[in-house]
Amino acid sequence: MAGDDLKNDWLTRAQSGARRFNLAWFLEKLSLPLLLAGLVGAVLIMLARREWTNFPLLPSLGVAAALVITITMIAWLIARQHFTSAKKTLVRMEEAMSLNNSLTAADHGIAPWPAITKETNDGTSWNWSRLLIPPLATLFLLIVAFLLPISAKTPGNSGPEEPANRQALQASIDELRKEETIDEDYLDDLEEKVTELREKPKQEWFDHSAMEATDSLKKSHEQQLKSLERELRKNERTLNALQKHSQNMGSETRERLLEQFEQSLENMNNGAMKPNQELLEQLGNIDPQQLGNLSQEQLDQLRQNMRQHAQQMQQARGDSQPGEGQGGNNGDEWLDELMQEGGGG
């Protein structure tokens, strides 16, 4: 074989060995960062599966790609310090193959190139267990992150729940607002106070002072509801009595009913909590002394509205017991007592 062909053949084998040697160093320096990146990637995948709707998927993929590129470049720069050349590989080859410096001498033109052997050896070999464990472990972590059962996070389970008394107060506000039972100004003012309590640090929600403030607000709200409910039921009974029993009652009893109706209207107008504007205007436009000018249907509708509003207030304060003047013959018994006190008929 010609000398140039032998030279090219030996140098090609040396360059191949050098590339294999350099690749081994690169994979060695990449293995640990790759394993750490796989661990971080697995955590990100599980977070994405848990909060898929809120997780910034595309930006996260971009960050992951940038991280892998950065790790690869750093590993290559560190491994480069250990890289070898074809000439150094020739030295290893002649040492491993016992060629007695013949390759070095031939490379310097001192001696001819030796004959090509069937196999060449530069004294290195792949350590497959050390090479494959990091990427396999990385792949295992990523597969587990995809297959591990994870319950998706629901919107309502982040952070501690609000205190029960505040939840009950908010539910009452929502119910009254939905049914349009109470004047909106009162509900807006009350909800603003609840919001102020809610905006405090969560670790203070269950402090004694915060719980006491919420209890006080809730108790005041329930008292206002109960008071307005009582006034509505009282007015409904008064209208019922004046509508159905006006001819059978004495003038003194009638006057007492009229005064009671007017006083109840005044209480509702002056209270912190008022009925919705529509019902308040209906009641304000009624002259109890001129009930005869209203049709039976109009009076029945007005009394039904008052009973309905009173019932909604009862439900909003969480009371399952019938309110004052509700159920049975309480209205007739109340009228009989009033007529006896007034000496009516």
DSSP letter assigned to residue 205? T
* pTM as predicted: 0.48
pLDDT of 77: 94
Residue 345 near residue 254 (C-beta atoms within 8 A): no
Query: Going residue by residue through the chain (345 aa), what tens digit of pLDDT does each one get?
Result: 466 788 888 889 999 999 999 999 999 999 989 888 889 888 888 887 777 666 566 777 788 788 889 999 999 999 999 999 998 998 898 888 888 888 888 888 888 888 888 888 888 888 888 888 988 998 898 888 888 887 766 554 455 578 888 888 898 888 888 888 888 888 899 999 899 888 888 888 888 888 999 999 989 988 888 888 888 888 888 878 777 776 667 778 878 888 887 888 888 888 888 888 888 777 777 776 666 666 778 778 878 888 888 888 888 877 655 555 444 445 555 555 555 544 444
DSSP string, 154-184: PGGGSSPPPPHHHHHHHHHHHHHHHHT-B-H
- With tokens 């006080």, the residue in question is 216
Nearest-5° Cα angle at 227, 221 to 233:
135
pLDDT of 79: 93
Give the number of residues written for the chain.
345
Q: In angstroms, rounded to a whole number, what is the distance separating the alpha carbons of residues 283 and 305?
A: 11
Two tokens, residue 320: 């399952």
Nearest-5° Cα angle at 222, 219 to 225:
155
Q: In angstroms, rounded to a whole number, what is the distance separating the alpha carbons of residues 187 and 273?
A: 9
Q: In angstroms, rounded to a whole number, what is the distance separating the alpha carbons of residues 149 and 145?
A: 9
DSSP letter assigned to residue 152? P
* Residue 182: strand, helix, or coil: strand
